[in-house]
């Protein structure tokens, strides 16, 4: 079966059932892969108008009326390398100071609110302890 790889416009002959990965390699066509299990979809190619995963597919039979199989491969996309950031840049230092200052303000505000609640809780606990002592004293006098 004659196969045409686009956009490179390369022709290669292969047998029906040959793995598409091997056919592409023979033609010098680079198909991107990641998982090689058909899960990630990185290796998708267009075979006669239908997107399939190259790592899991074989050369299909020739459809009626076609002279060859058309395979379009996605172009390889080069990732642009980012310039690495300086670890202790003035901006990162300033951001850290601001972040820490906001944290301290939040901590102080929470502690100030908690102080009044703490005092109220301590008063209630003292009142409860006094009631318990009174009940114990009452029980002790009734037993005698």
29 vs 79: which has the higher pLDDT? 29
The pLDDT assigned to 125 comes to 94
Q: What is the pLDDT of the chain when averaged over all its residues? A: 83
Kindly state the average pLDDT of the residues 36-45.
84
Residue 100 has pLDDT above 90, yes or no: yes
Q: In what order do the strands lie in the sheet with 10-13?
A: 10-13, 2-6, 69-73, 44-47, 50-53
75 vs 12: which has the higher pLDDT? 12
Query: Looking at the chain, how many residues does it have?
Result: 144
The pLDDT assigned to 84 comes to 66
Residue 58 has pLDDT above 80, yes or no: yes
Specify whether the backbone of 17 is left (phi greater than 0), alpha (psi in -120 to 50) or beta: left
Q: Which of 48-52, 72-76, 129-133 has the highest mean pLDDT?
A: 129-133
Maximum alpha-carbon separation in the chain: 114
Give the pLDDT band (50/70/90) at residue 87.
low
- What's the rounded Cα separation, in Å, for the pair 41 and 54? 9
The pLDDT assigned to 86 comes to 62
Q: Are 54 and 43 in contact (CB under 8 A)?
A: yes
- What's the rounded Cα separation, in Å, for the pair 46 and 69? 10
Kindly state the average pLDDT of the residues 106-118.
80
- What's the rounded Cα separation, in Å, for the pair 135 and 15? 97
**Pairing outcome for strands 50-53 and 69-73:** unpaired
Kindly state the average pLDDT of the residues 48-66.
83
The pLDDT assigned to 3 comes to 83
């Amino acid at each position: 079966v004659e196969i045409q790889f686009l956009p490179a416009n390369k022709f290669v002959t292969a047998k029906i059932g040959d793995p598409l990965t091997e056919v592409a390699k023979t033609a010098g066509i680079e198909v991107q892969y990641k998982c090689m299990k058909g899960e990630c979809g990185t290796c998708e190619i267009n075979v006669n108008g239908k997107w399939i995963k190259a790592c899991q597919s074989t050369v299909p039979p020739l459809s009626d009326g076609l002279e060859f199989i058309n395979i379009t491969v996605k172009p390889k996309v080069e990732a642009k390398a980012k310039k690495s950031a300086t670890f202790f840049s003035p901006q990162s230092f300033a951001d850290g100071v601001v972040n820490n200052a906001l944290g301290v303000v939040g901590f102080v505000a929470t502690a100030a609110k908690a102080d009044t609640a703490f005092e109220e809780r301590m008063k209630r606990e003292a009142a409860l302890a006094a009631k318990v002592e009174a009940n114990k004293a009452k029980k002790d006098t009734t037993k005698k």
